[in-house]
Amino acid sequence: FVSKKNFYLSIFFLVVSFYLRTIAITLAIALLAVLISKKQFKQAVILALIFLLAAAPWFYYSQTFSQGGDSYLNQFLRKDVYDESSGIITIYDLLQRIFSNSVQYFFYAVPQAVFSPLLLFDWFASQNAVLPVLGAVVFVAILFGGIVFFKKNHANVLLLYTIFSLAFLLLWGYYDNSVVNRFVLPIFPFLLIFFVAALKEIQLKFSFSKNHLVTAILILIILASFGSSAYFIYSLQKREFTPYYADLIEASLWLKENAPSKSIVYSNEWERIYFFSGFKGFASKKHLDKEGLQKLFSENKIDFVAVFDLDWPEAPLLEEMFAGKKVFESKNGNARIYQI
């Protein structure tokens, strides 16, 4: 660091980054590693102490007040992150998780984020065997660019942050299947830098004139990004107004117009129901039997149960429990509301 001011400003923005996205803990580790590698042990200790003190309230909150006590640590140590009853992860399970995540990130998520033509290719030919091959080529280019970057910058904090973040993603149980993997976004700029570094090195190796190769590929990426954005916007209405989504809105509006004020709704889609109707609700994170559901409804004073035709293990049991109490069914038949 040039000065103490820059050092403490860096720590401040590090803490802000952590409270914005918890994955920034890998940035803290990267910064700590750089300080240690440069034998700046005093600064490393100061950084560690300030960061731990600043982050402690969040760790305490997430461990103590998370829904059902399901903290990040609990999720990480669980065999199946989506099933609380799956037990503690074993070494074999962890190796399986790492392998599965490696395939997803190295062949699909990272290459598609950096080289957007692959994202368009995935949308229109997702089952094509060529896609993972192209993804692997792009990822190898990123690795090569990272090596080039390392030779010029050595133990740069951005390089270490990217490496630690990817390592964390391989260990983490959740995988984001949305259009752009949100876990990759924090390191996307640096992945793109490594990719460009690889292109420039290839350009020098094969004596391409000026920067024509890099320029052409970056223009292709920009055009593909515009194309994918245009397609996403064009297909948005069609995707949002599927029969299921239409029934979700219809059921929510029925609750808004007919349910007494301050009613509480039990549903697997309680967040969206709250968004459209204003009624609070929740769903159990554990699969409950009949007695468990009756106890939960009694303790939380549930007024309505909204069932949608999605994969929800409790749905058949709920409809059996409240048969004869149905007060609403959507036109398409994908949503039903029962009044307790």
In sequence order, what DSSP letters do the residues of 35-91 get, joined into one string?
Answer: HHHTT-HHHHHHHHHHHHHHHHHHHHHHHHHSGGG--HHHHHHBSSTT-GGG-BPPH
- Residue matched to tokens 């005093």: 42
Q: Please answer whether residues 28 and 11 qualify as being in contact, where contact means their C-beta atoms are separated by less than 8 angstroms.
A: no
Is pTM beyond 0.75 here? no
Tell me the three state secondary structure of residue 154.
Answer: coil
Ramachandran assignment for 178, one of left (phi > 0), alpha (psi -120 to 50 degrees), beta (any other): beta
Convert the pLDDT of each residue in 105-151 to its tens digit: 999 899 988 988 887 777 776 667 788 898 999 999 999 999 999 88
Q: What is the pLDDT along the chain (340 residues), one digit of tens a residue?
A: 667 888 999 999 999 999 988 889 999 999 999 999 889 999 999 999 999 999 999 888 776 765 555 677 777 888 877 676 778 888 998 999 999 999 999 998 999 889 888 877 777 766 677 888 989 999 999 999 999 998 888 778 889 999 999 999 999 887 776 666 788 889 999 999 999 999 888 887 776 666 677 888 888 888 888 877 787 777 766 665 577 778 888 999 999 999 998 899 999 888 889 889 989 888 877 777 888 888 888 888 899 999 987 667 788 888 889 988 999 998 888 889 999 8
Phi then psi for residue 309, to 5 deg, are -80, 75
